[in-house]
Amino acid sequence: MPLRAKVASSVSRTAAALSRAAGRGDGSVIGGWIGLKIDPDLLAHLSAGRAIALVSGTNGKTTTTRLTSAAVGVLGRVATNSFGANMPSGHTSALAKAGSTPYAVLEVDEHYLAQVLEATEPHVVALLNLSRDQLDRAKEVAMMAQLWRAALVRHTDVRVVANADDPLVVWAATPPGDPARGINPPHVTWFSAGQRWHDDSWVCPECGSTIQRSGEQWWCTGCPLRRPEPHWVVEDEGVLDPTGAWHKVSLQLPGKVNLGNAATALAVAAEFGVRPVDAVSRLGIVTSVAGRYAQVDKDGRNIRLLLAKNPASWLEAFDMADEAPTLLSINARDPDGLDTSWLYDVDFAPLRGRQVLITGDRAYDLAVRLDVNDVPFQHVRTFDDALRSVPPGRLEVIANYTAFQDIRAELDRVI
């Protein structure tokens, strides 16, 4: 590593330690930010010599990154940005902190995928899904698919592991090659993780025609784009690998969506030569991820935290949650997006019959939404009020980003 990069890396680690010591954060961003100021190529220097996997998509990145790290860990030490700090400063910080490791698995914010592909020259990139998320500041969904596709055209040597169930992902993962110039399209391994959310993919990203669906199949009515045959498939409580062998997956994380994340992790690890039979038991060691799915016992209540940031992830959260009293909390601060319109893209009907409590900065937006949805609810001002309002036993908490962090803080920043 050049001297400048060594200095930058060392300063980066020190800043992260100071940030943690000062109680200002977990240090996963600030260290990398300072390091990148000293050496803008620090991320590339820190990536050199490591076999790297990138994980990107609208939903499930943090959890899939954690599961993939566990799976790749079969081979040796893995550096990872496990606190969800998923922009280049977070990657830099994670790699600097980990020191020399043969492997790295990095969660990447979907907007930064092109830049991080460039800097880290990964062996594998996993593309999970694309759906509407914070449209008041994020790129429109079709535009994001276009950016991914353009980035992959420049990196046709990378191995792609992509979701066959998401038309936008399939299109992004299959840019045309240029045989005249000897450029082949990237090699893609397809997984099927299911997709509950369809409302961002009724229009073909290639030709603008309508996309038809029947069961798990989908196809464009105007061009050849259609669901590729997946190599990795979730089946019952396990995963079918490309050889047709079925592996039982015992996770401590709830929901079908996490079985899909496990299938993705096994598929990515396989690109490094990890056999699923060796990796599958390691997936069960993952309990919670930066507070997501964490369970806390307090005042006789078993509180479980579920993060839901956008319509697609709310649908998954309802699937994961038990039939138990449920607290919903909504904020609309900068990290959440300032616009609450997405509440009408979520059907809250699955909550009918459960005791529903609402709170958060934007509880009234939620109140009007639930009223229209015929879901009875009770408004509470504080988390303690919520606890007092439910009987002993399970309390499911579903919250969007900053609301989730607020409740995590009430529970001593549970991870």
Partner 1 sequence: MSSESLRIVWIYPDLLSTYGDRGNALILARRARQRGMPVEVLEVRSDERLPATADIYLVGGGEDGPQALGAQRLLADGGLHRAVAQGSVVFGVCAGYQLLGTSFFAKGVQCRGLELLDLQSDRGESRAVGELAGEIDPRLGLPPLTGFENHGGRTHLGPEVSPLARVTAGVGNDGATEGAWRGKLLGTYSHGPALARNPALADLLLRWATGAHQLPPLDETWSDRLRNERRSAVAAARA
| 189 interacts with partner 1 by CB under 8 A | no
Q: Is 303 annotated as a binding residue?
A: no
149-157 — which CB contacts under 8 Å span 24+ positions? 149/173, 149/175, 150/114, 150/175, 151/113, 151/114, 151/117, 152/117, 152/125, 152/186, 154/114, 154/117, 154/118, 155/117, 155/118, 155/121, 155/125, 155/186, 156/183, 156/184, 156/185, 156/186, 157/186
Q: Does 138 participate in binding partner 1 (rule CB under 8 A)?
A: no
339 is catalytic: yes
Distance CA 25, CA 17 (A): 10
CB of 378 to partner 1, least distance (A): 12
Interaction between residue 210 and partner 1 (CB under 8 A): yes
CB atoms closer than 10 angstroms to residue 68: 33
Nearer to partner 1 (CB atom), residue 135 or residue 415 = 135
78: left (phi over 0), alpha (psi -120 to 50) or beta: beta
**Tokens 């009724």, residue?**
202
Q: Which residues within the stretch 337-396 sit at the binding site for partner 1 (CB under 8 A)?
A: 338-345, 364-365, 367-369, 371-373
- Between 4 and 139, CB nearer to partner 1: 139
Q: Is 203 in the site for partner 1 (CB under 8 A)?
A: yes
**305 sits in which H/E element:** strand 301-307
For residue 55, the minimal CB distance to partner 1 (Å) is 26
Cα→Cα distances 145→131, 332, 345, 414, Å = 10, 26, 21, 34
From candidates 74, 135, 188, 415, binder to partner 1 by CB under 8 A: 135
Q: How far is the CB of 145 from partner 1 (least distance, A)?
A: 12
Q: Is 7 in the site for partner 1 (CB under 8 A)?
A: no
Residue 336 has what DSSP assignment?
G
- Count Cβ atoms below 10 Å from residue 262 Cβ, excluding itself: 32
Would you say 223 is a known binding-site residue? yes
Residue 57's Cα: distance from chain center in Å?
6
The active-site residue out of 157, 199, 299, 339 is: 339
How many helices (H) and strands (E) would you count in the chain? Answer: 14, 17
Q: Minimal distance in Å, beta carbon 62 to partner 1?
A: 24
**Candidate ranges 130-138, 239-247, 264-272, 399-407; the one touching partner 1 (CB under 8 A):** 130-138
- The answer on whether 207 is annotated among ligand-binding residues is yes
Among 76, 208, 335, 376, binds partner 1 (CB under 8 A): 208
Near partner 1 by CB under 8 A, which window of 19-27, 42-50, 196-204, 248-256? Answer: 196-204
Contact residues toward partner 1 (CB under 8 A) are 132, 135-137, 140, 142-143, 199, 202-203, 208, 210, 221, 338-345, 364-365, 367-369, 371-373
Residues comprising the binding site for Zn(2+)?
Answer: 204, 207, 220, 223
The residues assigned a catalytic role are: 339
